[in-house]
Amino acid sequence: MTVRLWVEFKCPICNQELEDDRDLANFLVCKNNSHGLLRFYTGDGCFFTTDHKVAEALLLKGRKVHVSDPKGFVQLE
């Protein structure tokens, strides 16, 4: 018997479906203009953003989040 599991990931800010990140393996991404680019790492459930207000909103929802420098080695925006 084969069991198939499908998990749908939604953005905790805008509730849109997260899409595969074509640039980074094991990441999902939401590109909604209301909050800017938001990346989700499927390995440990952390979000990555460059916006401090978005990070605060995620923390208030109980999510793990990292604020990244937009000039860092991984361009988020």
How would DSSP label each residue in 23-41?
SSTTEEEE--TTT--EEEE
**Which pLDDT belongs to residue 4?**
67
- Can you give the pTM of this predicted structure? 0.80
Residue 74 belongs to some domain of the structure: no
Residue 41 belongs to some domain of the structure: yes
Residue 35 belongs to some domain of the structure: yes
**Which pLDDT belongs to residue 29?**
95
pLDDT values of the chain reduced to their tens digit, one per residue, 77 residues: 777 655 678 999 999 999 999 988 999 999 999 999 999 999 999 999 999 999 999 999 999 999 988 776 455 54
Range of the domain at 40: 19-67
Tally of domains in the chain: 1
**Which pLDDT belongs to residue 7?**
63
Count Cβ atoms below 10 Å from residue 55 Cβ, excluding itself: 19
